[in-house]
Amino acid sequence: MTHISPPLLSTLGLTVTIAGKTLCQDWALALNQGEIWGILGGNGAGKTTLLHTLAGLRAADNGQVLLQGIPLEQLKSRQRAQQLGFLLQDDSTAFPATVLETALQGRHPHLGPFAWESQSDENLAHNALQRVELDDFCQRNIDQLSGGERQRLKIATLMVQQPKIWLLDEPANHLDLHHQVSLLQQLLADVKQQSGCLLMSLHDLNLAQRFCDHLILLFPEGPMIGTKEELLTEERLEQLYQHPIRRLETEAGPVFIPA
């Protein structure tokens, strides 16, 4: 008999409400190995709330979130962190630390009690910082970093963590055009190499077109799930954003612009 692996991340009968508004009801979602998902919706649509719920940072009103078939609440926080990496849209650091020390925090879920980082862990951190172009900042304190540099450091820390499931809230925040493209390319390469999956909220339709293969559109009446080809149409996007959208065909692929 062929053994079928469960989805890396899935939901069962999930209901989420916020401020009296139902974001999703009795919802089923399944993210499988190698899949790249995007969440699209207007301001206040619930993108961050949904990601927080899937990460276990916010309780659902009903239903379950499962990591590789195991309900999230049955896993200890360390077990969750070994499988799931979460990029917060905005956060504040309570303690001063250097760039290297911060990147090394990604290894903490994989260390035993009272264990210190090994040379292998430090090598992983240095490699990740090099990939995000922060390798010259290793000993700089993080409070001396710009917004874009902090975002790149958060992404490097996730790379060091090496999760199977990546949940990213606005990963392109504070990044210039070069770093938006180069870092998303690298993240997708990591996901594919680790046979993982990635779900990210985005405001930029063209990043969704370029990097995602599946999408969740957050409409007021409930989420719509499908492939990029099914959902990235002028009609659906105009309904989602309540604004005219034009799709232009270019040599690099479709481009979406507001009319």
| pLDDT, tens only, 109-129 | 988 777 787 899 999 999 999
From the list 52, 49, 45, 6, the residue with the least C-alpha distance to 29 is: 6
pLDDT tens for 29-43 read 999 999 999 999 999
SS3 77: helix
Query: Kind of pairing, strands 214-219 and 36-40?
Result: parallel
From the list 53, 51, 50, 80, the residue with the least C-alpha distance to 67 is: 80
Other CB atoms within a 10 A radius of the CB of residue 159 amount to 24
| Measured distance CA(245)–CA(237) in Å, rounded | 7
* Residue 256 structure tokens: 């979406």
**Average pLDDT over every residue of 222-234:** 95
pTM value is 0.94
pLDDT tens for 44-77 read 999 999 999 999 999 999 999 999 999 999 999 9
In this prediction, residue 244 carries a pLDDT of 96
In this prediction, residue 155 carries a pLDDT of 96
Torsion angle in degrees (nearest 10) through CA of 73, 154, 37, 53 = 30
What is the amino acid identity at position 129?
Answer: L
Q: Give me the domains of the chain, ranges plus CATH numbers.
A: 9-94+162-258 (3.40.50.300)
| Measured distance CA(174)–CA(101) in Å, rounded | 22
